Copies of this chain bind each other. A is one copy, B any other.
Amino acid sequence: MLSRPIRRLNIRQNIPSIKTRTYSSLNSPAAQNFTVNGDRLWNDIYHAAQYSAPNPTTTAGGLSRLSGTLYDKQARDWFASQVHSLGAKTYTINSTGSQFATFDFSAAMPDVPPIAMGSHLDSVATGGRFDGPLGVLGALEVVRSLKEQDVRTFAPIAVINWTNEEGARFFPPLGSSVVYAGQSSVSVAHESKANDGSGGTLGEALKGIGYVGDGPNTFQEFPLSAHFEIHVEQATTLEEAGKSVGWVTGWQGISVFEMVFKGEDGHANTYPMDSPHRRDSLLGASKVIVEIERLALTNNGYTTVTGIQSGPVGSCNIQSWTKIVFCLMHHESQKLFAMGEEIKARAQAQAKLGGLEMEVDRVMHLEPGEFWPEAVDCVKRACGNRGMGAKTLTAHDSTMTTLVCPTAMVFARGREGISHCAQEWTSKEDCAESAAVLGKAVLNYDEVLRKKYEG
């Protein structure tokens, strides 16, 4: 599904034609005066964090809100109540559960596709309070502030909670935005399989919590003029430079592989140790896991083995099959590809040494890329001297929307690169700063859009 290189798509046929592009080094007049209420956003972050499975992660101040669970439903229901109380003009749930709310703020051009602010409310099993929620709650705070400050926009504004961004419970990640961007289909997304091997699917889980709707699924059905997203940085660039926010210029590429080793059943206590008698798949896989770490270090990339399963289950058997899932990351497309080829060759060699069969499948691939300069520029101007440019090391819903519409991201400073962890942290001030930047960026883009339409 995502296994072919993703390319920018050219399916913007429903959008009014765009004439010229003029950038300014200053914020638009509306953006210059825009502010947010940092206390209110912080309270939302704390309030929404209660929708979390009761487990050690939650106790430690983190978030455990897997997609399609009761806790996800609670957060979604709360999100719906918020957009309704903010006077959403439209509110829809699509077939993959994503929630879209639009606001027109007496928009001068209500038929222009909205400028969206979106991210995700789901988390990994042992996650933090900021990864995902800050993007959605920051968007709500922007809408609240636009309303309070009676800001008039050219285009309508949309707020989106994308489904299953994490892919933590059901693989693959970016579960709904990938369909939106035309890279997958609703039925394929519904068939996303549970990572815990329980046999469940995303479609069943969404149905179970009442979040399979009839709203728009694709860019063609619901075109956006642009998409902006706040996200915690998940690295240390901002922290080391003493900057509270950042404009995100692009992303690192990611390849995810499943690799299965097959050996032979055998008695754990008695089978001769010397090869080729023993064909121990777990031993072979372990040697490859060690190679996968080396691969990152020798290629100046990133690698992680994210899961392992082996069998047969029992206390007295050589493991005759072992499956590992791992991801390779690099900023350069060619090096990412080369890392994949290198580890396949190394694994093949290890398999041969251990008398194993090895099968490998690239189950997801995201080419490294750059966001739209005109959208990035809007974020850059909004950041001013409190920000800096940076790249994200991972995929986001915005790395999907950017395939179909101008997209950029706002980084909020994190701590020590800690992410997907209860100890993830962004200060109240940095959360507020990132929401202010999000709002200003949207208003900057609104100005760009107005000028484009006015020609």
Which residue numbers of A lie inside 8 Å of B, CB to CB? 57, 124-127, 131, 166-169, 171-173, 195-196, 234-236, 252, 254, 256, 264-273, 277, 280, 282-283, 285-287, 289-290, 293, 296-297, 302-308, 310-320, 322, 325, 327, 329, 392-395, 416-423
Contact = CB atoms under 8 A, between A and B. Distances in A.
Given A125-B314, A307-B313, A270 B319 contact: no
Given A166-B315, A265-B420, 17 more contacts: A125-B314, A131-B267, A166-B314, A172-B315, A195-B315, A234-B269, A235-B272, A256-B315, A265-B422, A266-B421, A269-B393, A273-B303, A280-B304, A283-B293, A285-B286, A308-B319, A315-B325
Which residue of A317, A322, A392 has the most chain B CB atoms within 10 A of its CB atom? A317
Contacts of A254: 269
Nearest to A321: B126
A303 to B, nearest CB: 8
Nearest to A234: B270
Q: Which 6 A-B pairs have the closest CB atoms?
A: A269-B394, A168-B314, A265-B421, A268-B304, A286-B289, A270-B393
A126 B307 contact: no
B313 A421 contact: no
Nearest to A283: B293
A375 B236 CA distance: 71
Contacts of A308: 282, 308, 310, 319, 322
A269 B302 contact: yes
A123 to B, nearest CB: 10
Contacts of A169: 313-314
Which residue of A286, A307, A392, A423 has the most chain B CB atoms within 10 A of its CB atom? A286
A283 B290 contact: yes
Contacts of A290: 283, 286-287, 290
Contacts of A280: 293, 304-305
B314 A394 contact: no
Contacts of A319: 305-308
Contacts of A310: 307-308
Nearest to A172: B315
Contacts of A302: 269-270, 273
